[in-house]
A and B are shown apart, each in its own frame.
Chain A
Amino acid sequence: MAALCGINPTGRLVKLLAWTRGALMQGEPRKAAPTPWKHLFVGIVLVFCSLALAEPARLELSGKARLLRPDQTMQTYTRSGGPALLLNLEAGDRLCVTEGQGRLLYGVRAFALEARGAACFEVARPKSFWQNLVASCQDIGVCKKQAEVSFIKEAKSRNPAGNAPTLYLPTDYRLGALTLTVASGQTLRLLNGASELQKVEAQGDGVFTIATEVLRKTGHLEVLSRSGLVVYAAPVQWVSFASEVAASTPFEAALALWLTSEIGYAPAAYSYLLAAGASELAPILEAQIRREFRGSAR
């Protein structure tokens, strides 16, 4: 039915209906009038056809236009003189006037298209039955998206915005890389404003190694889980760190940072501990970082 109805002009619809009725009548010649079931059938055909044909976009072209169909085929139309060329557009069509001008009518709306101004127009595709079905399913919480949303809400309620620790780094940080361990997560994104500087994949369960050079340009970082949920997101702060401990070795630098009791310094301290080979202290600090580094902060 869709193939029959989807072709186009209204005249053809009338013919189709006439044909449908005619065919029904021929099939049962003894009956003088169609039964209510046939009326119902014709009604259903009418509804479906009117839905399929209800794209009233029409272009009156005086000039040249390029039409891109949804299947990516391109057609060019030209009208150099005389009355305007009439062209019907269907859902998903994108039309650009390349020379001269055109007037596009969509229902009761008119759009003036000119090669030098607003040149293009697109007929939005209606959402398909399947898309609507999936979206409704997600809306009422049966499908996956709703579950994700409710998970995010739950996570937020546990960690209100601002509770997640900011990542503090001393400006004299000497190692070539920072090891960040978070509760879980697969991908870490380093951002500067809206632009993404680098994407780092986890080496183990929530373990990321980030080059210090990139970190110095980073304003903000976020860790995403496998399903794309933000597990941890916070700004990166480089702090001019003054300590009473004159740290000459990585182990001393780690202790100096640890003495602050500020959880934001913990990843830097942890990295120093790893570099110093402090196999007893490092796991303790790692467990604490994994516990605290979750949620998001601005």
Chain B
Amino acid sequence: MARYAVNEPPRRRAFSPHARKALWRTGLVVLVMVASSYILSNNLLGPLGGFIKGPQGASLDRLTKVVHRWGSPVPVRDFPLVVLVELEQQSIQELSPNSNVFHRGQLARIIQKILDYQPKGLFLDFDLRYPSNEDGALSAGDRQLLEALRRAQVPILLPDEQILGQPLSSLNPKLFAVQAQVLYDGDGLTRKIPRPLPGQPVAASLGLYCLGLGIDLQDGLRCPQSVALGNPQSDGKRIVYREIRRFGAHTEGRQLWPNLVVMGGLQFLEGSLVKSEQTRGALFLVGRTYPKADDVHFTAIGAVQGIDIHVNALLTLATYRSFSETLGWGPVLLVVPLVVFLALWLTYSITDGWLRASRFQGFVQALIETAVAAWFLFLAGVMIVQYSGHFLDYLYPIVAFQMGALLLKLFAGGKKNENKTSDSGQEVADKLKEIVEGTGGDR
């Protein structure tokens, strides 16, 4: 700080030198963000776009890893309670022992009990296309299941167009086929809720979300249209994962999604869910979580059961509202520069201010400035995800900041405020090294 005062008299400036430096670099970051956004949205780089998308995807996964352990904000107003009835080891061993498919009669019991709560919607994550017996004959349990589904007066979502050999529509108009498969990215990870395509069933989570808002699924277009905002070119909305907590026997605790209740099928049948105003009109999901290997998928937070992905997807939609993957241009141009500016200001206040007076100034300047800035930007990203649910896609400022920092070094313009004059190739190499090391934590 003292050195700055010697070089440039402070009276001429309205801002502190750190704020000016942060402002100037924020401008650069925004410029890079806008340029990269334009380049990527118009696919000007062709297959080389992966070089920007790849590291950006890794950064977003790191955001997800941080956020998944923290409590979620409350969902959209009046969104109903979400109840996950899971068929875990104990329930399956008690209700359907020695059977590959879950006993259909027991499933009918669970459905019947759920219908007592007058739910707004129910999703059954089971393969129910064929009868239990290999010869195709309906078992007693199959008949009970068909009867329960035939009499249902509430929307029931199923993963397939047919049930036990019959078309859904012939059984009950309240039965809807949804897309229950998860969407894999190129690296085998599940990150997104599939975007609804014309003529195809909506994703299970989106169907339940519409039912929770009171939107009828019988008009096939209304549900996707009412929520499908945002970038039409994206594959879908990113799922904000939260850990779904399982507690031991006779133990209960709080879930990270505030309006989620998780219970075993056996407990549910024993009347563990209270009948009250809160549970009437809830959304129910039923699925197996045992054996664990049967329906496990890989995500940024590790291996997750399929039904848990549906729950996370539904509650992402309910909590973070619009089906958009990116912020609109207005918020991007207002919020992002502000966040970047604050992060950089804080960085330069530390590196150029507090630490510059120390004898390690050279070390600080050369090595940790970018890393500190990247970490502040990362924390800013965590806050954005946590409270708005928006991922900034390739606009994610760390990448832009690093590209900006590289540009500064290459064109030497960024050195004018610093007392160093050399801009040798070695410095560029060092900068590249520190950029890589600053963000190289991804596996």
Contacts and interface: CB of A to CB of B under 8 A. Distances in A.
Contacts, number: 72
B272 A111 contact: yes
A237 B214 CA distance: 66
Contact of A150 (B62, B248, B443): B443
Interface residues of A, number: 29
Interface in B250-283: 250-254, 261, 263, 270-274, 276, 278-279
Interface stretch (A117-125, A190-198, A226-234): A117-125
Contacts of B245: 124
Interface string A125-154: 111000010011001111000000010000
B151 interface: no
Interface stretch (B65-73, B182-190, B222-230, B429-437): B65-73
A139 B65 contact: yes
A107 B259 CA distance: 10
Contacts of B251: 121-124
A57 B251 CA distance: 11
B117 to A, nearest CB: 10
Contact of A108 (B70, B273, B442): B273
B65 A110 contact: no
A144 to B, nearest CB: 13
A105 interface: yes
Contacts of A132: 69-70
A255 interface: no
B413 interface: no
B69 A106 contact: no
A123 B70 contact: no
B247 interface: yes
Given A108-B81, A127-B69, A142-B441, A122 B254 contact: no
A130 to B, nearest CB: 12
Contacts of B69: 127, 132, 135-136, 139
Interface string A95-118: 000000000011111111000001
A108 B274 contact: yes
B25 to A, nearest CB: 24
Contacts of B70: 132, 136
Give the interface size class of chain B: 20 to 34
A110 B253 contact: no
A167 B387 CA distance: 56
A59 to B, nearest CB: 12
Nearest to A135: B69
B274 A111 contact: no
Nearest to B302: A139
Looking at B254, B271, B273, which has the most chain A CB atoms within 10 Å of its CB? B254
A41 to B, nearest CB: 19
B254 A109 contact: no
A140 B65 contact: yes
Nearest to A107: B261
Contacts of B442: 141
Contacts of A109: 252, 261, 263, 272-274
Contact of B250 (A122, A135, A139, A141): A122
A91 interface: yes
Contact of A123 (B62, B253, B443): B253
Contacts of B253: 91, 123-126
Given A57-B252, A108-B274, 14 more contacts: A55-B254, A91-B253, A105-B274, A107-B261, A108-B261, A109-B252, A109-B263, A110-B271, A110-B274, A121-B252, A123-B252, A132-B70, A140-B65, A141-B441
20 contacts: A91-B253, A108-B278, A109-B261, A109-B274, A110-B271, A110-B272, A110-B273, A111-B252, A121-B250, A123-B251, A125-B253, A126-B253, A126-B254, A132-B70, A136-B65, A136-B66, A139-B65, A140-B65, A140-B441, A150-B443
Closest 10 CB pairs of A and B: A124-B253, A139-B65, A141-B441, A122-B251, A106-B252, A136-B66, A132-B69, A140-B62, A108-B274, A110-B274
